[in-house]
Amino acid sequence: MIPRPLRIGVVAGEHSGDILGARIVRKLRDRYPDLEIYGIGGPKMISEGVESIFPMERLSVMGIVEPLARLPELLSIRAKLFKYFQMRNPHVFLGIDSPDFNLSLEGKLKRSGLPVAHIVSPTVWAWRSSRVKKVNRSVDRLFCLFPFEPDYYTDCRTRAEFVGHPLADELADLEFRENVRGRLGLHRDEVVIAVLPGSRMSEVSILGDIFLKSAQLIQRDRSQTQFLVPAVDEKIFDHLSDKIREYPDLRIRLFNGQSKDIILASNAALLASGTASLEAALMLRPMVVAYKMKTVSWEILSRMASTRFISLPNILANQAVVPEFLQENATPELLAEALIRILDDENDAQIDVFLDLKKRLGRDCSTKCANAIEEMVCC
């Protein structure tokens, strides 16, 4: 029997985790209207009734060295969360991505007797494979978004299972581009490029100017190209608004949110590496991916990496389908050249791979996770 009210502790540390968490919370609340769920979530999880006791953006930090400056604050938040969960006594804890923050908290909670689930495997297949051992110590059930990930945990007590990717479920049926363009006030035949420089301020502050300069170069070659930029929150919107004022002749529109519509409306996308690249692939939009971080962080990360690629479509396909430009190669000139080439080509190779990804990743992720959480509470 499921206890009533069902109580769940949860921590999501960034925008993609907030989206993922909101879907799972919605599925659980459909079954248990009196659900109590608390911890840390973003605006989408809060709108589904999650009590967030700290702002989610305090956990969102990119890089290897950069988190060190925030370490005292992060350790304080983690300690306070542990005490909070001890006081509120949830039936199960769900960590959503953010492994560097969540796994240590999950280990303490598991040792205290609380059942622990975690969704989104750490990228042990890309770097820091030693984290498999930490997952084994800290997590009872691991919900993997990609089909190859459970193989990394075959020797663990942790039960790792492929649940599919929620984006593949959400984007199974795509709205026609012409309809989306009409909603955004765009002409059905104009060339549109979606520009997504990241979901974290640390990413946007590095890639924002590079992407805007790339757009400027493309416009010099294709004067009627329209650029659309979605900002994930108000802070990033304000930051990008200030930056865009420095490019008064650029045909660019900034939106507060609406990333899905903007990608659907586009002919191609320029993206920071991350979940957005998978989102664009599942919407069958050709893309160019770039990533850049502070030099010290890059020097450390590049030595630890064990994968040839950084973008999710390439990792999943195990081939260089999407052009990637990293660190010193992430220049406006190279990005503009690659995007112009995409606009000139049919891009059948990218689209064929993206169609295969849609088939492989669609598994009704939120339902599988909700079912597993119920099983953990019952047991």
Mean pLDDT is lowest, of 40-44, 156-160, 172-176, 227-231, for 172-176
Residue-level pLDDT at 285: 96
**Would you say 48 and 92 are in contact if contact means Cβ atoms under 8 Å apart?**
no
**Shortest CA distance to 15 belongs to which of 55, 49, 50, 53?**
55
- Tell me the per-residue pLDDT of 2-14, one tens digit each, with 9 for 90 and over: 888 999 999 999 8
Average pLDDT score over residue span 67-73? 75
- Tell me the per-residue pLDDT of 280-339, one tens digit each, with 9 for 90 and over: 999 999 999 999 877 776 666 666 566 788 899 999 999 999 999 998 899 999 999 999
d(CA 122, CA 149): 9
- Tell me the per-residue pLDDT of 115-159, one tens digit each, with 9 for 90 and over: 999 999 998 987 778 899 999 999 999 999 999 999 999 999 999
DSSP structure class, residue 56: G
Residue-level pLDDT at 301: 63
pLDDT at position 73 over 70: yes
**Would you say 252 and 215 are in contact if contact means Cβ atoms under 8 Å apart?**
yes
pLDDT at position 225 over 70: yes
**Would you say 236 and 201 are in contact if contact means Cβ atoms under 8 Å apart?**
yes
Residue-level pLDDT at 269: 97
Residue-level pLDDT at 122: 93
- Rg over alpha carbons for the chain, rounded to the nearest Å, is 21
Residue-level pLDDT at 181: 96
Domains 7-164+363-378 and 177-361 share a fold: yes
Asked if the 7-164+363-378 domain carries CATH number 3.40.50.2000, the reply is yes
DSSP-assigned letters across all residues of 169-191: HHTSSPPPHHHHHHHHT--TTS-
| Fold for the domain defined by 177-361 | Rossmann fold (3.40.50)
pLDDT at position 190 over 70: yes
Tokens of 238: 């304000």
**Would you say 56 and 41 are in contact if contact means Cβ atoms under 8 Å apart?**
yes
d(CA 75, CA 147): 33
**Would you say 74 and 54 are in contact if contact means Cβ atoms under 8 Å apart?**
no
Residue-level pLDDT at 143: 98
> Which sequence spans correspond to the domains of the chain?
7-164+363-378, 177-361
- Strand, helix or coil for residue 296: helix
Average pLDDT in the chain: 92
Strand partners, 369: none
Strand partners, 36: 7
Strand partners, 169: none
